[in-house]
Amino acid sequence: MIVPNSLPQAIEVWGDFACFSMPAAKAERFSYAAPTPSAVRGIFDSIYCKPQEFRWQVDRIEILKPIRYIALRRNETKEKASERAIQSWMKGTAEPEPIMADADASYWGTDQRGRTQRQTMALRDVRYRLTAHVVARHGFEDRVQGIESQFRRRASHGKCVWQPSFGCREMPAYFRLIEPGETLASPVPISMDLGWMLYDVFDLAADNHAPLLKKNGWKTVGPAISVFQATIHDGVLDVPPYHDKSVRRAIDKEVGHAS
């Protein structure tokens, strides 16, 4: 639920590179012209998050520097560790198996492992002003002001749980808190229709971090893709609330949330 006295929190973020990959670009990476709400939520989460108590609702993305692309070639692994494998390693029921990026087919006996180079169309020299507010989970509605205070204290001192990034871990994002009454730079005068943009990869109405007890062990809520029609007006991308009709949400069969 949205608490009426939840206040918007704003930060300014910048970095050398960014890549907010379009879902359709599977093998080669091609970035949206602006951050996705999912990526922005991840930046706020990196500063302060308690998933069982609240989530961040992104409100606005303001573009403070011209949109410029750069072509890069990045090394990526061909495989990734599965959730089931990681859980087995943590329980000690299986031996950890590392992902050896530099081992080729002569080592593994297959070309499906190791690393490969992929083309990436990324953004360069980016700067944004991001605004979001706290949405409390059920039972934590009275904690909103304390959550906001904690966030502002951490952001004002440059503290974060993990280094925020612009879509890829090797593209770090640097941030600062925007204080009330501060003189703000104007967004770049650009308007464009971005079409269908990824909103998030989880059902934000569900507690995606709380495990569900099953007969075969602990299991987390699965992904639930959502999209929306994104349009930049004079350098500003307004993000509708997750429950707005303009957001197209997938059905999560296990939990029962639907669009």
Q: Are strands 236-238 and 54-63 parallel, antiparallel or unpaired?
A: antiparallel
Q: Is the pLDDT of residue 218 over 60?
A: no
What is the CATH classification number for the domain harbouring 60? 3.30.70.2660
Question: Quick one: CA torsion of 123, 125, 129, 131, rounded to 10 degrees?
Answer: 40
List pLDDT tens digits, range 80-115: 766 677 778 788 888 887 776 666 656 656 555 666
- As a whole-number percent, the residues of the chain with pLDDT over 70 amount to 78
Range of the domain at 173: 9-75+117-249
- Across the range 166-178, mean pLDDT stands at 93
- Answer for the pair 4, 121: CB distance below 8 angstroms, yes or no: no
Within 10 A of 90 (CB to CB), how many other CB atoms are there?
10
Q: What is the pTM of this model?
A: 0.81
In a domain, 88, yes or no: no
- Indicate the range of 4-18, 75-89, 220-234 predicted with least confidence: 75-89
Position 33 confidence tier, pLDDT thresholds 50, 70, 90: very high
Give the residue with greater pLDDT, 38 vs 94. 38
In a domain, 38, yes or no: yes
Total structural domains in the chain? 1
